[in-house]
Amino acid sequence: MSEWSPPTVPRSWLLVAGVLFVLWLAYAVVIVQQILLGSLPLIAFATLYVGWRFLVAFEAIADGLQRIADQQEHDREN
């Protein structure tokens, strides 16, 4: 298995994002009285995050297949 792994999000960024989401949710529920409005940023973030993880996984698979192909080509030349 490769030693490469995607960079992780700093814990402080996650904390700030969580606090902002709670404030946004409180605003949406208390002031605007629309709970769906409060959930939209979470849904958007989750969709983008899952899409990003799939992209990273596909890149890792492509990288692994390329290394296998390079090794097989090298073995055929020798």
Distance in angstroms (rounded) separating the CA atoms of residues 20 and 26: 10
72: containing domain: 11-77
Give the mean pLDDT of the chain: 88
Assigned domain for 5 exists: no
The 10s digit of each residue's pLDDT in 50-68 is 998 899 899 999 999 999 9
In the chain, % of residues over pLDDT 90: 51
The 10s digit of each residue's pLDDT in 11-26 is 898 899 899 999 999 9
Number of compact structural domains in the chain: 1
| pLDDT value for 65 | 96
CA torsion through residues 23, 28, 32, 33, sign: negative
Q: Which structure tokens are listed for 55?
A: 């992209």
Task: Say how far residue 10 (Cα) sits from the centre of its chain.
Answer: 13
What percentage of the chain's residues is helix, strand, coil (to nearest 5)? 85, 0, 15
Assigned domain for 2 exists: no
Query: Global pTM?
Result: 0.64
